Amino acid sequence: MPTFQGPRGMRDLLPAEAAAFDALRRVVQARADRYGYPRISTPIAEDKQVFLRTSGETSDAASKEMYDVSLHGTGDLALRPEGTAPVARAFLEHGLHKAAQPQRFFYWEPMFRGQRPQLLRYRQFWQWGLECYGAEGPAADIEIIEFTSGLFSEVGLTEVDLQLNTIGDGPCQPKVRAALGEYFTERRAELSPESQRRLETNVLRILDSKDPRDRAVADGAPKVRDLVCDADRAHFEAVVAGLERLGIRYRVVDGLVRGLDYYTRTVVEFVLTDPAFAQGGGIAVAAGGRYDGLVRTMGGPDLPGVGIAGGVDVLIEALRKQGGGAPRELGADVIVLSAEQNDDADRVQLALPLREAGFRVALDYGGRSLEKQLESAVKHGAKVAVIRGTPEARGGNVIVRDLVKKEQRVTRLAAVVTEVGRHVRKRTRPTLEGEESAG
């Protein structure tokens, strides 16, 4: 047995999994780029207050799921549990609130929560996200929802349900809470003990309780949507109308609320519908909404904000469940092997022009029979073997063997790139300009 195990709730991404992450990141990031959301990257940890201030100091999320990593002299640090607050902090710290608005950001980062791990609930997990500051109208809400909906279409996720609701603006929420508080207090005795506690902490949460005792009461509760201010309702109706106009399927869910204090107006959640993910009322693959009070809460001006974040681990698992795209071929397409022993540098040298040309080339490090080398090449998924050191492959010749067609020909060393190119594709090569050009 291994001497060490990974930390609880944190997992390794072996090459196949890491490749799936990379592929998804390319798709999401390119999409964000097309929408004018450039990438931002913030530190892995923040002053705890960044999260406590924005999430609500009393919420369980903040108080008990914070991943504390404080050290002597570093202040009270916590690994970030989410992306919105850190981006807001960076936005303010670098004075971007004084730049031309709106300001938009995309991120793809690991997040951390000190929760007990369960299926697809890790202590370290990855999220992509969008943040948009300075846009007050419904257009930005509609845009981030459309972005996400379109993303899921783009990657082929179909078993997903878009839910949305409005919870009112900052000035309205106290009214909403008061009205609900009054309603639930009158029926206090009928509520579960847990929800009786919620009466003190977060009345909204009672609305999405799963407890049957609460459901009976909550289902008869006044709708948040009907309690909010006229302006909030108008905003929400505009968002809904926008989705209609764009042909995006959605469901208005009365009980959809958020656990964090900073949300205002629009709240949105994309929930997986596959029964395999039905546990606990469904796993969200993306969630977000509007947070018009956040920037001010953090000491900045009264700037509106809206954003959405999606779980990468969850999305990849959902796609896999759906029997999503074929796994990418990870290994090399070409393998260099040799009938000779102790010609190590020659193998490296033979691979050189092929790699330069853009082929994925691996070496057989030798020390075994040609048969074993070929067997190994096939097992590793190589398409072509370039063989040196055989009698017919001396004097500036090599054998280029197609391992799929089982055909081969003796080729001049100078023509090996051309010959290999007849059997496998070159890969694109990235450049510092950020564009990929054909290699």
Partner RNA sequence: GCGGCGUUAGCCUAGUGGUAAGGCCCUGGAAUGUGGAUCCAGUUAGAGCAGUUCAAUUCUGCUACGCCGCCCCA
Asked if residue 390 lies in contact with residue 363, where contact means CB atoms within 8 angstroms, the answer is no
Shortest distance (Å) from residue 255 CB to RNA = 11
Q: What is the DSSP string of 218-262?
A: HTTSPPHHHHS-HHHHHHHHHHHHHHHHHT---EE-TT---SSTT
CA atoms within 13 A on the CB side of 354: 29
Residue 2 vs 247, nearer CB to RNA: 2
Rounded Cα–Cα distance for residues 56 and 82 (Å): 14
Which amino acid is present at 219? D
Shortest distance (Å) from residue 247 CB to RNA = 26
Residue 80 vs 104, nearer CB to RNA: 80
Positive or negative: CA dihedral 81, 83, 84, 87: positive
Pairing of strands 284-290, 264-272: antiparallel
Shortest distance (Å) from residue 4 CB to RNA = 9
Residue 135 vs 283, nearer CB to RNA: 283
Shortest distance (Å) from residue 429 CB to RNA = 27
Helix spans in 228-383 (H): 230-246, 294-297, 312-321, 344-357, 370-379
In total, the chain counts a number of residues equal to 439
Rounded Cα–Cα distance for residues 125 and 159 (Å): 21
Which helix or strand (DSSP H or E) is residue 139 part of?
helix 138-155
Smallest CA-to-CA distance from 312 within 143, 108, 99 is with 108
Residue 206 vs 240, nearer CB to RNA: 206
Residue 101 vs 339, nearer CB to RNA: 339
Query: Who's near 99: CB < 8 A, 6+ residues apart?
Result: none
Task: Report how far apart, in Å, the C-alpha atoms of 208 and of each of 128, 211, 229 are.
Answer: 25, 9, 22
Contact residues: RNA, CB under 7 A: 1, 5-11, 51, 55, 59-62, 64-66, 81-82, 84, 113-119, 121, 194, 198, 202, 205, 209-211, 258-260, 269, 279-281, 284, 287, 309, 339, 368-372, 374-379, 381, 387, 390-393, 399, 401-404, 406, 408
Residue 208 vs 232, nearer CB to RNA: 208
Residue 123 vs 429, nearer CB to RNA: 123
Residue 24 vs 207, nearer CB to RNA: 207
Shortest distance (Å) from residue 216 CB to RNA = 15
Shortest distance (Å) from residue 239 CB to RNA = 18
Q: Which long-range contacts (CB under 8 A, 24 or more apart) does 403-406 make?
A: 403/374, 403/377, 403/378
Structural tokens at position 257 = 């609320």
Rounded Cα–Cα distance for residues 268 and 324 (Å): 25
Shortest distance (Å) from residue 100 CB to RNA = 28
Smallest CA-to-CA distance from 198 within 177, 219, 179, 212 is with 177
Residue 7 vs 220, nearer CB to RNA: 7
Query: Who's near 197: CB < 8 A, 6+ residues apart?
Result: none
Shortest distance (Å) from residue 434 CB to RNA = 29
Shortest distance (Å) from residue 432 CB to RNA = 33
Residue 143 vs 313, nearer CB to RNA: 313
